[in-house]
Structure formats: structure tokens, C-alpha cells
Chain A
Amino acid sequence: MIDPYLRVISNFNRYRVDYIVIGVSGINYYVSSSAQIILTADYDIFIRPDVNNVRHAIKVMRSLDYEVTTADGSIKRIDISQIEKIVREKKTLICENPTHNLVELCLKVSGFSFGGLEKNKKIFRADRIKIMVASLKDMLRMKEIANRPKDRLFLQRYVEVLKEKERSLSGRERRFAKPLYG
């Protein structure tokens, strides 16, 4: 059975929404075992901040039974002037389905433009579905720039994951291992 996050990605690919998975959800694609997964309440996706792309993204989310809201309230119907305002103000779209799965569609991120992130994106595969994920280096840099208490806490925790990963490698593997990010 396909999970709700992967279903969103699969539909974004199908309807050609330009997106990149970011945040802790994106960082989790770089771990090598489930023990290194970091729990997160939502799935963060950066979508190209242009009117058509945002309109398609909202359409997809609504077709998957997600309620789409911004800080100003719920988006009941797709109105171009409202979407133009969202794009202009680069508001975050919070999408929640009846089983309380949260997907955040961001129109801006700390320190990077969409094009900047897209250049270094990495493509992962899940059940033959392509997932565009920002590079680990860019995502960690984003956290450093944002520098909120939760970002500092995350970076502290992530250093432990990297150390743990290094400890689990044998001497030979350690010598030949590619850096986890870079």
C-alpha cells in the first residue's frame, strides 16, 4: 500500500508540479537505516513559487482530500487572485487530510531560491516513483541559516547520527567512504 506522502509525490510528478522535498523529511532520505530516522510531524515540500505551479499543487492536494490553509484561513476554491497574493507574499500552504497527515508546501526557504536548490537536487526512488530531494549539504545549511531553537537542537542531534554512522564503519570502509554530505 502506498503511503500518503508518497501518493502526494507521485501526483506531483504526474501533474508536473515543480517541487523539492526539504527539511527533516528530506534529510531522512539520506539515512541508511531506520534507526537513524528522525521523527517529524509534517512533510515539507518546497514548490516553485509561480502562480501556475502553485495552482497545480493546490489542485493536487485538494484532489487527494487535503484541506489547504494559509495563515489567512482555508482555501475553499481555486481563485487566481488569491493564488497571486499567496505567491507574492510567499505564504506557506498547510495541507491536512482527514487522518491528520500534514504536508507543508513552502514558497520560500532560508538562504536559497528554488533554482538554487534545484541545481543540486538528488533524485531518490521509491516504488518506481522519483522523489526530488534537496542536497543534504543545502538542507543542513538551511537549518544553520534559519537558526531557530528547533534547528539548533536538530543539528546537535544530527551530529550524533553522523558520528554513529562513522563508528559503525570498519577501518577500511571508513578510509574509502564517501563523505555523507559534501
Chain B
Amino acid sequence: MDKRRLTIRFRHLILKKELQKTGDDKSWVSRLLWDLRRHYLNVKRAYDRPLSKSNF
């Protein structure tokens, strides 16, 4: 599993702890999708950024 997938998986596990099933309320579904999407974009942006001396 590459680093990016591992980070997303890790984030997913944290969210799993945070978001418990709350009866019939399904608001957690789209909130989780939104959060994972935001996290994916952040990780992607970080990996796509060209490396320069200032990054170290």
C-alpha cells in the first residue's frame, strides 16, 4: 500500500471512531464522503507539489 493510500486509510479509521451510527439519521454518510474527498484533495495537492529546497 503506498503512502497516499495509507494516509487515507488512517484518516478513515479516525473517522470511523468519530462517526458512530446515530439511529436512522444518515447525515454522517455525506459528511464522511465530503471529509474523505477534502482529505484526498489535500494529500493529492501535497504530493503533486514540485519538490524544492524550501520543502525540506
Q: Which positions in A face B, CB cutoff 8 Å? A: 3-6, 9, 25, 28-29, 31-35, 37, 39-41, 43, 99-101, 124-127, 129, 131
Give the 9 A-B CB pairs with smallest separation, nearest first: A126-B27, A5-B30, A3-B34, A124-B26, A127-B27, A126-B26, A3-B31, A34-B16, A6-B30
26 A–B contacts, CB within 8 A, in A order: A3-B30, A5-B30, A5-B34, A6-B27, A9-B30, A25-B30, A32-B21, A33-B16, A34-B12, A34-B16, A35-B16, A37-B32, A39-B8, A39-B33, A39-B36, A39-B37, A41-B37, A99-B38, A100-B41, A124-B24, A124-B26, A125-B26, A126-B25, A126-B26, A126-B29, A129-B27
Q: B10 within 8 Å of A by Cβ?
A: no
Interface of B, secondary structure class, is helix
CA distance A40 to B33 in the complex (A): 7
CA distance A125 to B26 in the complex (A): 6
Min CB gap A39→B, angstroms: 5
Q: B15 within 8 Å of A by Cβ?
A: yes
Residues of B within 8 Å of A32, CB to CB, are: 21
Select B26's contact among A4, A29, A35, A100, beta carbons within 8 Å. A29
Q: Beyond A25-B30, A125-B26: 8 further Cβ-contacts under 8 Å?
A: A5-B34, A32-B21, A34-B16, A43-B33, A99-B38, A101-B34, A126-B26, A131-B26
Q: Is A43's CB under 8 angstroms from B30's CB?
A: yes
Residues of B within 8 Å of A100, CB to CB, are: 37, 41
Residues of A within 8 Å of B33, CB to CB, are: 3, 5, 25, 28, 37, 39-40, 43
Min CB gap B47→A, angstroms: 16
Q: B19 within 8 Å of A by Cβ?
A: yes
Q: Is A34's CB under 8 angstroms from B25's CB?
A: no
CA distance A29 to B25 in the complex (A): 10
Min CB gap A115→B, angstroms: 25
Residues of B within 8 Å of A101, CB to CB, are: 34, 37
Min CB gap A73→B, angstroms: 24
CA distance A29 to B31 in the complex (A): 12
